[in-house]
Structure 1
Amino acid sequence: MAIEKETTLSIPAMSCNHCVQTITKTLSDLVGVESVNVDLLTKTVYLAYDAETLSLAEAEAKLSEAGYPVQKQSFANRGKALPLK
């Protein structure tokens, strides 16, 4: 049984429609990818995939090989937490 996962990837190197096409093709060609939606304005990729067939690390490695490394999200500098009331 497939385990579908969804994730959002930040790709700072994305700058044009050619980038969008390359990223879409690179990910779509991977076995286990269910859907790929690329947003050029936010430099974001929304990826749905079968976690039994494909690991997120594999997808990230393929993007890096294609010249589009994924920026790792850092939560350390996201600002001060608001107090709960």
Structure 2
Amino acid sequence: MATKKAVYTVGGLKGEHCRARIEHTLSHLPGVTSVDVNIGTKQVDVAYNPELIAGGYIEETLQTLGYSIQG
């Protein structure tokens, strides 16, 4: 199956430390192929293989890290 992309608007992003933490954590999830965090727009772009991981699990992981999902 093709790679899917999801964009999450995330509350609580405060700087480089947050960007690094999110990119590190999500990139180690099975099935996640790329992660890009934009502090300015508060968006997290994730490409993933839906056969290996569900988009809902990515969202739950962001919330477990202490960030809120907006919109």
TM-based fold match above 0.5 = yes
1:1-85 residue pairs with structure 2 within 5 A?
A: 2-71=1-70, 73=71
Aligned length: 71
1:3 positional shift = 3.0
Return the structure number with greater relative CO, CA threshold 8 A, min gap 6.
Answer: 2
Tell me how far apart the structure 2 counterparts of residues 38 and 6 of structure 1 sit (CA, whole Å): 13
1:69 positional shift = 2.4
Larger Rg: 1
Q: Which runs of 5+ in 2 are unaligned?
A: none
Higher helix proportion (structure 1 or 2): 2
Verify the 8 A CA contact 1:23 1:68 in the aligned structure 2. no
1:29 positional shift = 1.1
What is the aligned-residue identity percentage?
A: 34
1:33 positional shift = 0.2
Tell me how far apart the structure 2 counterparts of residues 23 and 69 of structure 1 sit (CA, whole Å): 12
Q: Where has structure 1 moved over 3 Å in runs of 4 or more?
A: none
Q: Which runs of 5+ in 1 are unaligned?
A: 74-85
Tell me how far apart the structure 2 counterparts of residues 69 and 47 of structure 1 sit (CA, whole Å): 16
Higher strand proportion (structure 1 or 2): 2
Deviations 1:24-71, CA, capped at 9 Å, x for gaps: 111111000010011010010111000111001101111111111221
Tell me how far apart the structure 2 counterparts of residues 3 and 69 of structure 1 sit (CA, whole Å): 28
